[in-house]
Structure 1
Amino acid sequence: MAETKVTPEVLWAQRSSNVDPEKNFVYLTISVPDVPTANLKLDLKPTGLSFEGRSDTLKKTYHVELEFYAEIDQAESKINHTARDVEMKLRKKELGEAYWPRLLKDAKKAHFLKTDFDKWVDEDEQNEAAEDDFANFGGGGPGMGGLPGMGGGDFGGIDFSKLGGGAGMPTGDDDDEEDSDDDMPPLEGEEEGEKAEKAEDATDAKEVVSS
């Protein structure tokens, strides 16, 4: 059976600031389930990106090319790959108080592009959002800035097969919960001992009052 080539769903949201670069970014998610790290390739440039990923289980090859409304700063952008998607936090190159009017340079509506309402904040309400908005993108910590090309000027042509497992891959322990002793029932005999101790305290109190 031949593989199907499809355009993946792309979700986006944004923040803007004319004083703080950390709050001036585009949040982009490319939905590509069951695509292993070895089958991903991303070419990110200041003006746009080209993405391709293959799912062997779904027999699909995902491909999308985007030309951004304005330039981004590759060196200050971050990427996180999970079993469901590829997330990107793209730093806008130019500081500005106003939002981009759209993600793409072309004003024509793209059927695969949708607003990420889980992350979207209206322009006039973004200052009320948490100051550390997306600060822990992809779990944060070491490694997010350590992808090939992330720290220098040569950012294009990221080959995820060279990442050795990929940043942000699920561990499969999401459903595990830590054991807690908060709601443990009393041990056998412990409950009776507590009742006897309370009764003895009450007797001592009565003797003190009567004396």
Structure 2
Amino acid sequence: MPSIRVHSLLAALGLAVIGNAALAATPLVKAVEAKPLPAVQAPALARGAVLTDLGSAFIEGDRIGSVHAGTNCNASVERGWSELIRQRVDAEISQAFRDELGRTQSFRTAPAGMGAPLTVQAFLNDMDVEVCGAGAGAWKGGFYVQVGWQIVSPEGKVIYRASTEGSFLQPSAQRVSTASGLRQAVGVAVRNLLADRRFTALLEEQGSQRRVALADPI
């Protein structure tokens, strides 16, 4: 997918203009742990996976969380979905998908002549952003995402459908990119996709094109 150049998510959420250096409470989001990856041997895998389409359940103005401020982060302003945030979310899902596949040795691209890469589609079902600005670009809080995934065969048939969650919490104020926090939350959702044995079965050589692995979203 083409790279997307956008302004910092920090600015998109309005953190650059609010904050207090003496922050106490940390806004919380739903905590999600990454599941252990299944024991799949690389030689058994016949194909890689390519993320080709991204979508979202949100429309302009839909609530996606709150930006907090004040001594105890008790003042808050709701933040809504926007085109800028859509671009950032799309970029982070794409990057996290490539990163997680790349760092997992079992999922390296198969040799030439093996099965074609799986076509994976992602759909952002839910998102919760709860961050508190601390001034000078520092923030604390967290991100939560729920992502729906599906794989479509070359014949146009959906052969896999599932939903995974991910989250990231920064308990103390730090001067780091909020986009990095979002990417880590999405990374957990991707790792939980890779932990699904039904998904890895579709990467295996034997019968991979004939398997049907549908599941209701979480």
Scaled by the length of structure 2, the TM-score of the pair is: 0.23
* Structure of greater relative contact order (alpha carbons < 8 Å, 6+ residues apart): 2
- Specify which structure has the higher proportion of helix: 2
- Specify which structure has the higher proportion of strand: 2
